[in-house]
A and B are shown apart, each in its own frame.
Chain A
Amino acid sequence: MSPASTPAPGAPAAAVTRAEYCVIACAEAWRDNGEVLASPMGPIPSIGARLAQRTFSPDLLLTDGEAMLVGLDGTPEGWLPYRRHLAMVTGGRRHVMMGASQLDRFGNQNISCVGDWSRPTRQLLGVRGAPVNTLNNPTSYWVPRHSPRVFVERVDMVCGVGYDRAAAAGPSATRFHRIPRVVSDLGVFDFATSDHSMRLASLHPGVTVEQVREATGFELSVPDEVPRTREPTPEELRLIREVIDPGGARDREVRS
């Protein structure tokens, strides 16, 4: 790290960036999860999961991104090749934070393709493990650029199963189904409404309700009082900036 980026002792730390609020919001997804595998996809969820493990959720399990479970310093503590990872999914001892190319008000997620599935205008990744994830372990989502193209009225292909679709599919689908939260660069969202439709749970500092509404392609439930995403503690800021992400990967994903 260059000396210029380290404030002199006693000097005020640089202001908290939007990316850092996103890290905190992602980390909070794994609070009180216990001894489960945190599966973050994307830079900011990865930083968030490691922050959670270093601070308030020390029992979390993390991987090296390949086939090993590793401790904070990278020491291997377990073997988790894909086939065992899939068993961990279905056994439920995992909380994944996936990305979403499209997401609707009931939490249905699409990463497969845009347009008609039989002849898509844009082919994306494919359903991957979204169907198995959503029916078996808590599945949260991370959207680095909140826009009406992502937050849509209807997704083109339901990969991750939302609350309405799980309910329609019956007890086997709802038995272990849970979407704890959605984090975007604008705020945090949950499904704590009577019909499990998406609700604004907190706004990142500097963001207005109007901004969120404009960037969302469906009617969002907004409570009268919307809290702010919490501030990081000085120790959390230090961990993010100096230990977990000194290279600033978070700022490349979400710009201030």
Chain B
Amino acid sequence: MSDKTMTTDEVVSRLHSGMTLGIGGWGSRRKPMALVRALLRTKITDLTVVSYGGPDVGLLAAAGRIHRLVTAFTTLDSIPLEPHYRAARERGAFELTEVDEAMFMWGLHAAANRLPFLPVRAGLGSDVMRVNPGLRTVTSPYADASSGVREELVAMPALRLDAALVHMNRADRLGNGQYLGPDPYFDDLFCEAADAAYVSCERVVDTAELTKEAAPQTLLLKRSSVTGVVETPNGAHFTSCAPDHGRDEPFQELYATTPYAEFAARFLAGDEQAYQSAVRAWHKEQR
């Protein structure tokens, strides 16, 4: 069995402009930020980003790397509106495919199951249908037993991804990924919906260690749907990665209130190690 460990730079060397890229996590929670930062160090652009959006979207939008965003929201959780995303949207910086949270989930399910679409009730009657004129409906082939009605439902198209980026608490070298927090979000679906999935994690451990103290159902990602594994301690920073670390609220506040160019100059000019030490230096200044 192959060792899938690689560096963040090796991950982004396999990505290219024009790709459809799924990014796991939710809002400002367990986002693969080290991989996003590595992506920002490249010239890759023109991306279709598929994400339950947080600062991953804010950063990529501010840096002008997004051609199209597929999302249901973009938020920093404790700061409800993502300022860099908002600014980019208000200047018309990219195209948007805005769908509902559940439609998004079923789009990933369809892709993971190699189906062209899945039927959902969500979307009917809302302006999601207006702003996505390509969305179609399907009529159920089965009549409701009591009413005789054959329901018309939205056919949510598969959200097939060229690549997925997710962040886990633990992984082994083979690509088995483990989350130890309360919520898996949809990271397994992102990986299964993608042609290639790259998993960053707080710590790479031996396979046997994964279930030494944690229950087997924490093993979220199967190695068969994972292409590469990167050890990036604190790699979700500044988003939360329970139970390894919470969200860095003061730093998130800084991110939200600093013009992107200024933020990037101070924190994103170097590699991941430089980022982490710049963050430590900033925290020291605050004391």
Contact = CB atoms under 8 A, between A and B. Distances in A.
B214 interface: no
Nearest to B127: A158
5 closest A-B pairs by beta carbon, nearest first, are A126-B73, A132-B122, A169-B125, A67-B182, A161-B125
A158 B147 CA distance: 28
Given A121-B90, A135-B121, A171-B147, A127 B102 contact: no
B126 A66 contact: no
Contacts of B153: 172
Candidate in A117, A118, A127, A159 with the most chain B CB atoms within 10 angstroms: A127
B128 interface: yes
Contact of B90 (A67, A120, A129): A120
Interface stretch (A13-21, A29-37, A78-86, A246-254): A78-86
Contact of A82 (B74, B99, B183): B183
A113 interface: yes
Interface in A139-171: 157-161, 165-166, 168-171
A124 B81 contact: yes
B91 to A, nearest CB: 8
A161 B126 contact: yes
Interface residues of A, number: 47
B31 to A, nearest CB: 15
B75 A125 contact: yes
A157 B131 contact: yes
Contacts of A129: 72, 100-102
B182 A125 contact: no
Contacts of B125: 131, 134-135, 158, 161, 165-166, 168-169, 173, 177
Contacts of A216: none
A161 B185 CA distance: 26
B73 A86 contact: no
Interface string A79-111: 101110010011000000000000000000000
A89 B147 CA distance: 23
A86 B105 contact: yes
16 contacts: A68-B182, A81-B184, A86-B102, A120-B89, A123-B89, A127-B72, A127-B73, A128-B73, A132-B103, A132-B120, A132-B121, A135-B122, A158-B125, A159-B127, A160-B126, A171-B147
Interface in B194-216: none
A66 B73 contact: no
A127 B89 contact: no
A34 B248 CA distance: 39
Contacts of B182: 66-68, 79, 81
Contact of B126 (A81, A119, A126, A158): A158
A82 B26 contact: yes
A83 B105 contact: yes
A128 B147 contact: no
A132 B124 contact: no
A10 B184 CA distance: 52
Contacts of B74: 125-126
Given A86-B101, A132-B101, A158-B127, A81 B185 contact: yes
Contact of A127 (B86, B100, B124, B185): B100
B234 interface: no
B162 interface: no
Contact of B80 (A67, A120, A125, A130): A125
Interface in B125-147: 125-128, 130-131, 147
Contact of B151 (A86, A160, A165, A171): A171
Contact of A131 (B90, B105, B126, B185): B126
B81 to A, nearest CB: 7
A255 interface: no
Contacts of B152: 170-172
Nearest to A99: B80
A184 interface: no
A125 B124 contact: no
Contacts of B81: 123-125
Contacts of B89: 113, 120, 123
Given A127-B127, A129-B72, A132-B101, 12 more contacts: A89-B102, A120-B89, A125-B74, A126-B75, A130-B126, A132-B120, A132-B122, A134-B126, A136-B121, A165-B125, A166-B124, A172-B151
A177 B149 CA distance: 16
Nearest to A135: B121
B186 A131 contact: no
B90 A123 contact: yes
Contacts of B99: 127
